[in-house]
Structure 1
Amino acid sequence: MSYDERTFVMVKPDGVQRGLIGEIISRFEHRGLKLVGAKALQLDEELAKTHYSEHEGKPFFEGLIEFITSGPVFAMVWEGKDATRQVRRMVGATDPAEAAPGTIRGDYGLDLGRNVIHASDHEDEGANEQEIKVFFDDAELLDYEQATDEWRYE
């Protein structure tokens, strides 16, 4: 059983270095989302600039590129009903100081520039597909049924 919404999530270098990949995966799995793609990688400057192109020209852009290329990241694609909105709510506000307790950034984020995780924006309909294609080839994404699928949705 496949649900039509997939969303892109990336554990940033600070989250990888702090050993939070497993905790973050567990949170999404416990929510009922299905992991359909995942890989560790080191972003080069070109890939980082492609990923964050909407921020080009902003004062923080160069620092963002420097940070996201400073260490490995863990890229993922999650699938589920209303997956993007669910993930964004679980991730919390961009600024960890504003993120609610219980969200990933509220629990683990320390600083606006070190906020542990990136997630596609729900407001931009094309963001998921565009971000997924930047990081994953079609062959790297799985389409499978889980034994628990029937217990997740009506």
Structure 2
Amino acid sequence: MIKLDQQLAALATMSSAQLRAEWMRVYRTPAPPLTADLLARGIAWRLQERAHGGLTKAHLRELRRHKERLDASGSISTNVNAGRIKPGSRIVREWGGTTHHVLVLDASYHYQDRSYTSLTQIAREITGAHWSGPRFFGLRKRGSANA
């Protein structure tokens, strides 16, 4: 069996036709009408998901709840981000020589395989000291009440 990193590297050299065939092999369904780049990304996602595991049951439940709300009302409301940051956004901050990535969800933040209800909790986790989360991540300047 080919190692994951070799499979991922091979995707970059495949033609559109080869990517469509690979999509069929990996997903067992015809490829959607996507560009070669998006096909490669979709295949890479599935290969990594198989190798490292997919979303946790908690994240799948959260996604199902949001889908149900979206289907019922046409929108998903949340007060966690207060409209400042769109869900799906990634916040990046370098600290102590390490780059930290936070994924913004509808009702929480995802950092290092854990969910947090505030950026302040994540800033404390990273620095070991109390910080305003929005200020630590550069979303608010010192003394500013709004982002």
TM-score of the two chains, using structure 2 as the length reference: 0.23
TM-score normalized by structure 1?
A: 0.22
Q: Which has the larger radius of gyration?
A: 2
Higher relative helix content: 2
